[in-house]
Amino acid sequence: MNDDQVHDEVRTYYRDAARTRGASGNDDQRWGASQYDPTMLASVSETAANLSMGCGNPYAMADLKPGEIVLDLGSGGGLDVILSAKRVGLTGKAYGVDFLPEMLELARANAVDAGVTNVEFLEGMIEDLPLPDGSVDVVISNCVINLAPDKVPVFAEIARVLRPGGRIAVSDVVADNGVDAPEDGSVWANCGTTALQLDDYLAMLANAGLADAAIEYTHETGPGLHGAIVRANQSKRTA
């Protein structure tokens, strides 16, 4: 499959989730919501909670502070953006980027329902983010980076939009060294299909200029595959 075909397949998978408002009973959706405190989920709409289809809870590990600017890659129904906006307060802001107009429409409605105003949802690709250089303090993401057919530009874009001293805290699926992703391209939207091996992931972060990288496995998602917390920092040096 070429990159365009991969993107089309992922669009189809998540467009169906948007169409059903996450109420299809999909196991990924039920498991994704289970990673959040029930009190937090109660503060958002049922649709926002149901559309949590990730492999972890990046909001919980980002250590957000009032006044910070946060960017969520592949923001889907907007759950992590809404929770982040509440944490950073009105002096901060939370952006969400997604390539599906259907998801963006739902996310904006979910934000209104949650009563948050310091949010902005932008249509775009995580390989080509619609934000200026050095514009955010924190990048989060929940089981989205692994869906990109070419992850090099994703990490380059993260480094570009982070301010010096900024940080990333993402949930992703990571493969053990020596474990190859399945070759069945028809299941690309399955989070484990395109997982990077551990050493490759760390190398890509370093090559993008993201320092102090650490990957912590949290649970198994398949043979040799792990849900993981990925952290790294933007260089404090200015260009």
Going residue by residue through the chain (239 aa), what tens digit of pLDDT does each one get? Answer: 666 766 777 777 777 776 766 555 555 555 566 666 777 677 777 777 666 666 778 778 889 999 999 999 999 899 999 999 999 999 999 999 999 999 999 999 999 999 999 999 999 999 999 999 999 999 999 989 988 889 999 999 999 999 999 999 999 999 999 987 655 544 444 555 678 999 999 999 999 999 999 999 988 888 888 889 999 999 765 44
Structure-block tokens of residue 166 = 């900024």
pTM of the model: 0.85
DSSP code at position 128:
B
Q: Are 177 and 115 in contact (CB under 8 A)?
A: no
State the Cα–Cα distance between residues 52 and 103, nearest whole angstrom: 12
Give SS3 for 114.
helix
User: What topology is assigned to 3-234 in CATH?
Assistant: Rossmann fold (3.40.50)
Q: How many helices (H) and strands (E) does the chain have?
A: 9, 8
Sequence letter at residue 84 = S
- Which residues on adjacent β-strands are paired with residue 140? 72, 169
Q: Are 158 and 97 in contact (CB under 8 A)?
A: no
